C-alpha cells in the first residue's frame, strides 16, 4: 500500500493519487485505501493483513485471521476477518474477501477491550490483532469465523501456552454461561499442553448454572450428541477432539 507525505497539501495528494490510478501505477482497494502497482508491487497480492488493519482506524485482526497472524492456523483461508465499530461492507482484493466483524457485545460500559489486543509482525508490517486468549474465546463465540470446529481445534492446538486467567477475564465480559462452558471444555482438552491453571478453570466451572449448553449454535438433525457433564455441555459425538487439538 502507498503512503503519503503529510507536508503535501491534501488537494495535491488527491490529484497525484488520481493520476497514479489513471496511469495504473496504483489501484483502489476501497474508499480511502489504495495499493501501489509499481515495480515489485505490480500485479502482486498486497499484504492482506495490513489491508485489513488499515480498513479503519480501530480495525483489529480477529477470529481465524488472528490465528493466522499468531502463526498457528492449520489452514490458510481466503477470508480475512477484522473487527471495527465502523459499518464497513465486505470488499475484495486480489482474490481475498475482507469481512468486518462487529465488536463484541460485552457487559459493563467500562470494559477495556484494549487489554486483549496485541501487535504482531505480518510480513513487512506490524498489525493489531486480538490476543491468543481473546482469539480462542471469539472463535468459540462464532465457529463460522474460525473455519469450523475441526479447523479451530487443530489451529489453537498450535499454541504452546494459554493464560486461563486471561481467557476467563475476557469470557466473563460476555455474561454467557454457554460461552463459559465451551471455553472451559476446550481449556481442559489441552490442559497439559497449555500448562493450564486448574484452579482458574475450576472457578469458571463454578459460575455455571444448572442449565445445559451446546458447543455448536444449533443441533444438527440426526447428529448424536455427547453430554460433557462437568461442563453441562452437549458436543457432537464420535469426533476425535483430543487428536485434533494435540495435532
Per the model's pLDDT, the better-predicted residue between 181 and 220 turns out to be 181
5 & 84 share domain = no
Give the mean model confidence (pLDDT) for residues 217-222.
60
Q: What is the pLDDT of residue 73?
A: 97
Judge whether residue 204 has pLDDT over 70. Answer: yes
Q: Please tell me the pTM assigned to this model.
A: 0.86
- Can you tell me the distance from the alpha carbon of 12 to that of 3, in angstroms, rounded to the nearest whole number? 14
Q: What is the mean pLDDT of residues 120-124?
A: 91
| Stretch 205-223: mean pLDDT | 81
Looking at every residue in the chain, the average pLDDT score rounds to: 87
Rounded mean pLDDT, 97-103: 96
One domain, residues 102 and 165: yes
Do 34 and 94 belong to one domain?
no
Given pLDDT bands bounded at 50, 70 and 90, which one contains residue 241? very high
Write down which residue in 44, 62, 77 finishes a domain: 44
Is 146 exposed, middle or buried (CB count within 10 Å of its CB: 0-12, 13-18, 19+)?
buried
Rounded CA gap, 130 and 61, in Å? 6
* Same domain membership, residue 153 and residue 87: yes
* pLDDT tops 50 at residue 171: yes
* Helices 198-205 and 164-171, axial angle in degrees (round to 10): 20
Structure confidence at residue 2 (pLDDT):
45
Which of 62, 95, 106, 108 shows the shortest CA–CA distance to 81? 62
Residues 127 and 153 in one domain: yes
Give the lowest-confidence range in 56-70, 104-118, 191-205.
104-118
Q: Are residues 50 and 106 in the same domain?
A: yes
The answer to whether residues 2 and 61 belong to one domain is: no
Number of domains in the chain: 2
Residues 75 and 3 in one domain: no
The answer on 92 and 199 residing in a single domain is yes
* 222 and 178 in a common domain: yes
| Residue 8 domain boundaries | 1-44
Query: Per-residue pLDDT averaged across 126-141, rounded?
Result: 98
Question: What pLDDT is attached to residue 24?
Answer: 58
- Split at pLDDT 50, 70, 90, the class of 112 is confident
Q: In terms of domains, do 50 and 25 share one?
A: no
Query: Taking the CA of residue 144 as centre, how many other CA atoms within 13 Å lie in the half-sphere pointing to its CB?
Result: 4
Do 16 and 120 fall within a single domain? no
| pLDDT the model gives residue 45 | 74
pLDDT of residue 105 exceeding 90, the answer is: no
CA gap 204, 123 in Å, rounded: 37
Amino acid at each position: 500500500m502507498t503512503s503519503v507525505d503529510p507536508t503535501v497539501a491534501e488537494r495535491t495528494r488527491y490529484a497525484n493519487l488520481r493520476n497514479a490510478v489513471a496511469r495504473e501505477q496504483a489501484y483502489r482497494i476501497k474508499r480511502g485505501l489504495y495499493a501501489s502497482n509499481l515495480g515489485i508491487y505490480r500485479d502482486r497480492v498486497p499484504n492482506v493483513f495490513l489491508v485489513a488493519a488499515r480498513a479503519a482506524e480501530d480495525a483489529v485482526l480477529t477470529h481465524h485471521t488472528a490465528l493466522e497472524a499468531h502463526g498457528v492456523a492449520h489452514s490458510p483461508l481466503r477470508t480475512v476477518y477484522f473487527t471495527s465499530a465502523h459499518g464497513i461492507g465486505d470488499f475484495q482484493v486480489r482474490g481475498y474477501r475482507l469481512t468486518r466483524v462487529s465488536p463484541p457485545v460485552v457487559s459493563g460500559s467500562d470494559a477495556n477491550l484494549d487489554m486483549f489486543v496485541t501487535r504482531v509482525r505480518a510480513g513487512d508490517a506490524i498489525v493489531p490483532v486480538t490476543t491468543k486468549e481473546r482469539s480462542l474465546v471469539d472463535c468459540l463465540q462464532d465457529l463460522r469465523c474460525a473455519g469450523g470446529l475441526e479447523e479451530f481445534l487443530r489451529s489453537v492446538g498450535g499454541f504452546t501456552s494459554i493464560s486461563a486467567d486471561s481467557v476467563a477475564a475476557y469470557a466473563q465480559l460476555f455474561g454467557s454461561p454457554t460461552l463459559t462452558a465451551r471455553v472451559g471444555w476446550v481449556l481442559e482438552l489441552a490442559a497439559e499442553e497449555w500448562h493450564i491453571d486448574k484452579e482458574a478453570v475450576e472457578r469458571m466451572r463454578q459460575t455455571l448454572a444448572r442449565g445445559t449448553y451446546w458447543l455448536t449454535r444449533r443441533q444438527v438433525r440426526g447428529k448424536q450428541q455427547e453430554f460433557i457433564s462437568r461442563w453441562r455441555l452437549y458436543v457432537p459425538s464420535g469426533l476425535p477432539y483430543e487428536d485434533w487439538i494435540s495435532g
